[in-house]
Amino acid sequence: MTGKCNIVFGFFYLVLTAALGPVMVNNLPDISAAAQGKQAAMAPLQLAADSDFENQETLEPMTDGEIARANAKALLALNAQLNAIVPNTAIKGGPHAHGNLEALLNIAVGLVLLILTIGTRFKQAISAIFILGTLLHSGVLYLGVVFGMGWAYTLLETGIGPVLILLGLLLAGIASVMGIKDKMA
């Protein structure tokens, strides 16, 4: 398991992450419906505030209960809109972006490993660390965010995936210092 494995894995993982992008976007909740619900709930509250909290039908001051109901409806509608937006943000900043980046990192590291003149076991360790780091980071993000597998978040909380990616980068840097031969020497 040297650079070739990372290149092959990286390209296939990039295809997977790119293909899941449209699938994720098509399965998002309808934000426009939530926005319309928010607007419908906020309109009476805005009207009440504009009229100094006077009941428009009786022209009497609104009761505390009427004000509380208008506030509660507006807050619940605003919360529904925010909850509809959260999956969009989670997908953009989560598995899709990290998956693409980690796929490209595997390809780049694979190419570097192919040209380094270092020991095979060191190359194999770096290769395995990058693949495992990718699967334990963006791979687990896909399981949790896209496929709704809540148990995957337990793995994310360990932070092992990002730590492995950083360790792989550090080891690749060390391997580059050791294994890139200067043509002038």
pLDDT of residue 116: 93
Structural domain of residue 48, as residue ranges? 3-179
The pTM for the full model equals 0.64
Is residue 29 within 8 A of residue 87, CB to CB? The reply is: yes
Residue 61 falls inside a structural domain: yes
pLDDT of residue 159: 86
Q: What whole-number percentage of the chain has pLDDT above 90? A: 37
d(CA 126, CA 5) in angstroms, rounded, equals: 11
Residue 184 falls inside a structural domain: no
pLDDT band at 48 (very low <50, low <70, confident <90, very high): low
Residue 185 falls inside a structural domain: no
Rg, C-alpha atoms of the chain: 26
Residue 92 falls inside a structural domain: yes
pLDDT band at 145 (very low <50, low <70, confident <90, very high): confident
pLDDT of residue 44: 67
The total of structural domains in the chain comes to 1
